[in-house]
Amino acid sequence: MDPRFATLADLVIDVAREIRIRGAVAGPGVPLNQTQSQVMRYVHAHPGCKASEIADRTGVKRANVSAAITELRDLGYLVSRRDEHDGRVVRIEATPQAVDTLDRLRASWSALLAGAWGEDVSDLDPVISRLEGLLGGLGRP
Q: pLDDT tens-digit profile of 81-129?
A: 998 888 888 999 999 999 888 888 888 889 999 999 999 999 999 999 9
The single-letter code of the amino acid at 55 is: A
What pLDDT does 109 receive? Answer: 87
Q: Per DSSP, what are the bridge partners of residue 80? A: 92
Instruction: Please tell me whether residue 36 adopts helix, strand or coil conformation.
Output: helix
Residue 25: pLDDT band (50, 70, 90) is low
The per-residue pLDDT for 27 is 55
pLDDT of residue 64: 96
Residue 141 pLDDT = 52
- Whether 49 contacts 78, CB under 8 Å: no
For the chain, the 3-state helix, strand and coil shares in percent, each to the nearest 5, are 60, 10, 30
Residues 6+ apart with CB under 8 A from 37: none
d(CA 136, CA 121): 23
**Burial letters 108-137, b for 16+ CB under 10 A, else e:** bbeebeeeeeeeeeeeeeeeeeeeeeeeee
The whole-angstrom separation of Cα 59 and Cα 54 is: 8
Which domains occur in the chain, in start order? 4-137 (1.10.10.10)
What digits encode the pLDDT tens for the residues 28-38? 555 778 899 88
